[in-house]
């Protein structure tokens, strides 16, 4: 393991009461010692604080406090020093320059956490949880990240993995005695274990929808014919909300999304800027464009003017957009303009024509009628995603994919047993399942995956 000495600013880069620079590696103490002549650092105990001046040669850079953490009782498990200085970005820069002159090098993004992982202090999902804890913006996302930091998902997986590993050993033993046609591994017991794993994977995979809603917000598309009342509804929804216009990279290219908060959950209203720009356009929104918008959505709010004579175009549009994993809410709009009998009729027309489950809400955005019902419906959609039996929630795309691949591998193992496929193939499929399960905690990994994860961290983490 390469534990050359690295340094980086651990606090935000800007003016603050204090700033902290982290130094970690074999030479952490001698590197800092060169700038801290007042005390023999090698002689100090772990977890002690030391007051003095940080020097560049003869020049005092700042009055600092050093915290010393000796291996293995540090974040990275290496000798580490944290230097607390007066929080001026200029002083931070001078201290880093001096440390580099003294023999340290600048840490790469996530390198401290990478070392904590490589040195075995935390597993990969915990390393990822550190990034999530730092990124958490509300109570829901903080709680989920902390539970993962405590090893939530790894605990769930590693028990299953150990049980599966036992079977792999037995199956591989059978391979060693291939000529004798013996079965060491009880196939029905293996099947029972696979069922157990399958149901655990199921509930973890299911929890991702909720996890994603917590972490990234629920994506909502508002669709309807021109003049259906989309922008008026949008304004009504955002009325009490300070409209947060954010550029969320990585979803759809450069889409501007507005975010609505209801009962602590975030709802991202997809492509609402486009909605505002095109609100004067007379041409009907094409199915293709609507599909693109709905493709990334979890919820579709379809608006139809309650006063419409013929809903066949709306019905056709809805039919072409619905998916099994899309929550559908149909709103009859402008109910202040029509008699109740008319919007009652509208509801029954939609109920007769659309087989999928949906909520029907009659609203007037202008008179603020039933807008709260719509908000309640959105919020209860997120609440019902919460899995009852599972308190570990998956929020990480990488974990989700590894779980899905594990599930596929488990299915293949079950098939191999059912169709009495060769023991070699069975062993191969089992190994596959083990590998995917191991990817989550990082028991099985490769440099590319690690590079991908840690490069997203900031420097100093
Ligand atoms: P969009 O093209 O779907 O975005 O529709 P707009 O929100 O621009 O609304 C079209 C027209 O309907 C505008 O003149 C709105 O003032 C009007 N409108 C929208 N919602 C309501 C409503 O709830 N009640 C009434 N009376 N008019 C509405």
Residue to mutate (ligand 1; options 229, 233, 365; most atoms within 8 A of CB):
229
Question: Which tokens belong to 436?
Answer: 């995917």
134, 198: one domain: yes
Task: Note the Cα 22 to chain centre separation in Å.
Answer: 27
* Burial call 165-192: b when 16+ CB within 10 Å, e when fewer: eebbeebbebeeeeeeeeeebeeeebee
204, 226: one domain: no
The helix (run of H) or strand (run of E) holding residue 19 is strand 18-24
Considering only CA atoms, which residue is closest to atom 18 of ligand 1? 229
Query: Which of left, alpha, beta for 380 (phi over 0: left; psi -120 to 50: alpha)?
Result: alpha
- Residues 112-145: pLDDT tens digits? 999 999 999 999 989 999 988 888 877 778 888 8
324, 437: one domain: no
Q: What is the CATH number of the domain that holds 347?
A: 3.40.50.300
Q: Closest ligand 1 atom to the C-alpha of 275?
A: 4
Q: Closest ligand 1 atom to the C-alpha of 235?
A: 7
8 Å CB contact between 442 and 128: no
Looking up tokens 């005092």 gives: 60
| Residue list for the binding site for (6S)-5-formyl-5,6,7,8-tetrahydrofolate | 22, 82, 121, 461
Final residue in a domain of this structure, among 366, 385, 404: 385
Cα distance between residue 221 and residue 224, in whole Å: 10
Q: Closest ligand 1 atom to the C-alpha of 363?
A: 23
**Residue 1: inside a domain, yes or no?**
no
Q: Closest ligand 1 atom to the C-alpha of 367?
A: 23
**Residue 248: inside a domain, yes or no?**
yes
% of the chain with per-residue pLDDT over 70: 91
221, 370: one domain: yes
Cα distance between residue 258 and residue 355, in whole Å: 31
Pocket of ligand 1 (CB under 6 A): 224, 226-232, 279, 333-334, 336-337, 364-366
**Residue 355: inside a domain, yes or no?**
yes
- Residues 42-77: pLDDT tens digits? 999 999 999 999 999 999 999 999 999 999 999 999
Question: Which tokens belong to 34?
Answer: 């060169």
Final residue in a domain of this structure, among 89, 122, 155: 122
Task: Note the Cα 239 to chain centre separation in Å.
Answer: 29
Strands 265-269 and 48-56: unpaired
8 Å CB contact between 225 and 290: no
For residue 263, the SS3 value is: coil
Final residue in a domain of this structure, among 90, 122, 154: 122
- Region 372-389: what's the mean pLDDT? 86
Cα-to-centroid distance, 333 and ligand 1 (Å)? 8
Considering only CA atoms, which residue is closest to atom 9 of ligand 1? 229
Looking up tokens 């209801």 gives: 262
Cα distance between residue 244 and residue 189, in whole Å: 54
For residue 443, the SS3 value is: coil
Cα-to-centroid distance, 225 and ligand 1 (Å)? 11
Q: In what order do the strands lie in the sheet with 6-9?
A: 48-56, 59-69, 80-86, 18-24, 6-9, 105-106
Q: Closest ligand 1 atom to the C-alpha of 225?
A: 3
> What's residue 388's pLDDT?
57
Q: How far lies 295's CA from each of 32, 97, 198, 217, in Å?
A: 54, 49, 28, 16
Considering only CA atoms, which residue is closest to atom 27 of ligand 1? 334
Q: Which domain holds residue 410?
A: 130-209+396-442
Cα-to-centroid distance, 228 and ligand 1 (Å)? 6
226, 198: one domain: no
| Residue list for the binding site for Mg(2+) | 231, 252
- Region 415-437: what's the mean pLDDT? 88
Task: Note the Cα 51 to chain centre separation in Å.
Answer: 40
170, 258: one domain: no
Considering only CA atoms, which residue is closest to atom 10 of ligand 1? 227
pTM as predicted:
0.70
> What's residue 245's pLDDT?
37
Q: How many domains does the chain have?
A: 3
8 Å CB contact between 128 and 146: no
113, 136: one domain: no
22, 58: one domain: yes
| ipTM of the complex, rounded to two decimals | 0.99
DSSP 58-106: TEEEEEEEEEEE-TTSSSSSS-EEEEEEES-HHHHHHHHHHHHHTT-EE
């Amino acid at each position: 393991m390469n534990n050359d000495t690295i340094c980086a600013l651990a606090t935000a880069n800007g003016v603050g009461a204090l700033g902290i620079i982290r130094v970690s590696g074999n030479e952490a103490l001698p590197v800092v010692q060169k700038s801290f002549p007042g005390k023999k650092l090698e002689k100090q105990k772990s977890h002690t604080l030391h007051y003095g001046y940080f020097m560049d040669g003869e020049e005092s850079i700042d009055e600092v406090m050093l915290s010393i953490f000796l291996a293995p009782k540090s974040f990275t498990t290496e000798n580490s020093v944290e230097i607390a200085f007066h929080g001026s970005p200029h002083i931070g820069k001078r201290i880093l320059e001096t440390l580099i002159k003294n023999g340290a090098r600048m840490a790469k993004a996530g390198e401290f956490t990478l070392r904590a992982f490589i040195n075995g202090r935390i597993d990969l999902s915990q390393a990822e949880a550190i990034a999530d804890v730092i990124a958490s913006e509300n109570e829901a996302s903080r709680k989920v990240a902390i539970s993962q930091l405590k090893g939530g998902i790894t605990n769930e997986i590693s028990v299953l993995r150990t049980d599966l590993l036992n079977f792999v050993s037995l199956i591989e033993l059978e391979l060693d005695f291939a000529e004798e046609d013996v079965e060491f591994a009880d196939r029905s017991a293996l099947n029972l274990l696979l069922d157990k794993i399958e149901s655990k994977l199921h509930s973890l995979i299911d929890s991702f929808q909720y996890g994603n809603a917590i972490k990234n917000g629920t994506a909502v598309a508002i669709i309807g014919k021109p003049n259906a009342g989309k922008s008026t509804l949008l304004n009504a929804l955002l009325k009490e909300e300070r409209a947060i216009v954010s550029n969320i990279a990585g979803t759809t290219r450069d889409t501007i999304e507005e975010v609505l908060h209801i009962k602590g959950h975030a709802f991202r209203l997809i492509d609402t800027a486009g909605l505002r720009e095109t609100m004067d356009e007379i041409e009907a929104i094409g199915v293709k464009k609507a599909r693109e918008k709905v493709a990334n959505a979890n919820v579709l709010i379809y608006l139809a003017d309650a006063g419409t004579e013929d809903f066949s175009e709306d019905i056709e549009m809805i039919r072409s957009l619905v998916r099994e994993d899309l929550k559908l809410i149909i709103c009859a709009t402008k109910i202040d303009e029509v008699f109740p009998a008319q919007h009652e009729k509208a509801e029954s027309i939609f109920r007769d024509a659309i087989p999928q489950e949906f909520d029907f809400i009659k609203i007037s955005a202008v008179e603020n009628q039933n807008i709260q019902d719509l908000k309640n419906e959105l919020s209860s959609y997120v609440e019902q995603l919460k899995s009852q039996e599972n308190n570990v929630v998956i929020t990480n795309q990488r974990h989700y994919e590894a779980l899905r691949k594990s599930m596929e591998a488990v299915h293949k193992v079950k098939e191999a047993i059912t169709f009495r496929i060769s023991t070699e193939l069975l062993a191969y499929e089992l190994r596959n399942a083990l590998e995917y399960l191991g990817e989550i905690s990082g028991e099985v990994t490769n440099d590319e995956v690690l590079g991908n994860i840690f490069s997203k961290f900031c420097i100093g983490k």
